Amino acid sequence: MNIYEIGRNSYWTGRINVISDDAGAPAGWTRTALPELAIGEYARWRGAWKVTTLVPEYIGQVFDDTTQRREISAVNNAARLIKTQRITAQLVSRGQI
């Protein structure tokens, strides 16, 4: 079964996920199918999907310190991994490994 994400601005985010028929939808998601949308139309959640031509406002995600630290840590870990892979590739190309 498809579920659809409702953004903080009450508009469909464009994300769809698949869950089993007996599973519940997590908070911020709905099992209610989207209506047909034409170009320039948007789905807005008001207890049910409503079609609108009003362009959705962007509401940026607010990060707390913990989330920011986690994001920075993930970037640092990825950077270390890339550096390690480059060094390994250089050693292999030189025949040192």
Alpha-carbon dihedral sign for residues 13, 18, 21, 23: negative
Q: What is the CA radius of gyration of the chain?
A: 21
61 band by pLDDT with thresholds 50, 70 and 90? low
**What average pLDDT is seen over the chain?**
87
Kindly report, residue by residue over 16-60, the tens digit of the pLDDT: 999 999 988 999 999 999 999 999 999 999 999 999 999 887 655
Torsional sign, CA 88, 91, 95, 97? negative
Amino acid at the residue 73: S
Structure pTM? Answer: 0.57
